[in-house]
Amino acid sequence: MRRSIGIVPQDSTADEDLTGVENVLLCADFYGIPRAVSTRRAQELLELVELAKYSKKKVSTYSGGMKRRLELASGLINHPKLLFLDEPTLGLDVQTRAAVWDYIRWLKDEFHMTLFMTTHYLDEADSLCDRIALIDHGKILTIGSPSQLKESLGGDIIEVQVQDGAVDLTQTIRGIRNVVDVRRTNSDYRIKTLLGEETAPAVMEAVRLGGAKVTKISIAKPSLDQVYLEYTGRSIREEHAESGSQLPKRRMMGMRSRRR
């Protein structure tokens, strides 16, 4: 089972005192791959992720993007049937992120490999994934293809911000033709409608007649971001954000201090 699985973790696991190729070969040793085989594979993989000319340099000299590509090469050393990718593009610049996307698409097309990826970038999931599960507070809320999830919204989304948030216009807006659903958060209204362009003027008129003033309005076609908000709401996950940003930092600091 383990020989069939590869992993590209969120945090860098490479030993910075070793070179790039030494790190890949070390992973091969963990899988029990003979050096005669792993040496050839390591070179091929480092060429794939465009690190061949840096293969004999210490990882401590690598940029963040280079380290992510090295993790990808290490995760592929055993030619896995199933590859786990834990936020593979987290913290990367736009150019490197696009390159990693290309590698992932290539793996799917070339090797027909099953990829299991976690990501906070929904555009990334939309572009790369055949099937998506939206998870909130550790629970799967819905599963489907990108097109199925976007079609589940049932139409366009109009977002309206009014100047006077004290007046609740929910029922007024809900009575407009083609409006499917209305959700209010303070002075913001999120309106699901079958025809966004035709409904928007009617919404603005209803707000005006209701004694309020529109300060901002936008129409959005269904996207995975909209789908996620539909299922989870808009509240900020403050506790999760703090734990997610601090724990890896403390762990990395501890690793560095032990190595010294």
CATH number at residue 196: 3.30.70.100
pLDDT at 56 over 70: yes
Same domain membership, residue 106 and residue 20 = yes
Give per-residue pLDDT as tens, 196-220. 888 999 999 998 888 888 999 998 8
Q: What is the mean pLDDT of residues 61-65?
A: 91
- Roughly what angle, to the nearest 10 degrees, separates helices 64-75 and 94-111? 10
Residue 246: inside a domain = no
Domain CATH for 43? 3.40.50.300
Q: Which of 17-31, 66-80, 163-177, 223-237 has the lowest mean pLDDT?
A: 223-237
Same domain membership, residue 158 and residue 125 = no
pLDDT reported for residue 82: 94
Same domain membership, residue 117 and residue 170 = no
**Phi, psi values for residue 129, rounded to 5°:** -100, 140
Which residues span the domain enclosing 209? Answer: 154-221
pLDDT band per the 50, 70, 90 thresholds, residue 237? low
Residue 18: inside a domain = yes
Total domain count for the chain? 2
Residue 53: inside a domain = yes
Q: What is the mean pLDDT of residues 11-39?
A: 95
Same domain membership, residue 15 and residue 120 = yes
Residue 249: inside a domain = no
- Residue 131 CB burial class (10 angstroms; 0-12, 13-18, ≥19): exposed
Average pLDDT score, the chain:
86
Q: What is the mean pLDDT of residues 44-54?
A: 93
Residue 243: inside a domain = no
Same domain membership, residue 62 and residue 10 = yes
Give per-residue pLDDT as tens, 125-148. 999 999 999 999 899 999 999 989
pLDDT band per the 50, 70, 90 thresholds, residue 235? low
Interatomic CA distance for residues 235 and 25, integer angstroms? 45
Same domain membership, residue 182 and residue 121 = no
pLDDT band per the 50, 70, 90 thresholds, residue 253? very low
Interatomic CA distance for residues 50 and 46, integer angstroms? 6
Residue 82: inside a domain = yes
Same domain membership, residue 169 and residue 56 = no
Helical H runs in 31-155?
35-48, 64-75, 94-111, 122-128, 146-151
